[in-house]
Amino acid sequence: MRSEFQVCRFRACRKFVAVALLLGVASGPLRAQSTLSAGVHPVSSTDGKSVGDPEQLSERTPGHLIQDLHAAFGAHGARAVHSKGTILLGSFQPTVEARALSHAFLFREAVPVIVRFSNFTGLPTIPDTAGDASPRGFAIKFLLPDGSNYDVVNHSFNGFPVSTASEFGELLEAIGASGKDAAKPTALDRFPRDHTRWRSAS
């Protein structure tokens, strides 16, 4: 029997894959190597490596995730994911009731905030009205008087396509290797078979 969480994760993965394939899987060699620190080399399936290999996990950097996202959506010079967005400035005014729930500074008096609404995918030109621009992102940065920040990051879908960071990298790698000219079965076709937790939700 599938749990509600498993169903949500399955739906999230299907949505993520469908959007990546419909809106243009990147083709050709990866162009995102510049996102990696000097001396850090990209992980590539063409070298017989996988981002999920244990020896690779200890070497992973944030730049590798950017590489994986660019493999799926293309290296276009914008943010790697949730590329298109609108940034607003404002203030957060806590209610009196909020002060009874927490002693955090942001619940004691008004603080300035930066808010970003964004579309899904790493495609900076996706129309706001496109169904594939969902799930939408909503991020709030509270600017506290001591110079620190408090961040809240949300998106509008109840679930995520995989359960670990390494599996996410593998999914992106599979999407990037599964363009229209890829041999069948593609890496993306094989992804559910090779990931039992993902498959169990289907």
Which residues are marked as active site?
82
Query: For residue 139, what are the β-bridge partners?
Result: 116, 153
Q: Which residue blocks in 23-146 are alpha helix, DSSP H?
A: 54-57, 62-73, 96-101
Residues in Cβ contact with 3 at an 8 Å cutoff, skipping those fewer than 6 apart: none
Give the integer Cα–Cα distance in Å for 116 and 133: 15
Contact 87, 46 (CB under 8 A): no
Contact 135, 145 (CB under 8 A): no
Residues in Cβ contact with 186 at an 8 Å cutoff, skipping those fewer than 6 apart: 174, 177, 178
DSSP E strand stretches across the chain: 85-92, 111-118, 137-143, 149-155
47 φψ region: left (φ > 0), alpha (ψ -120 to 50), beta (else): alpha
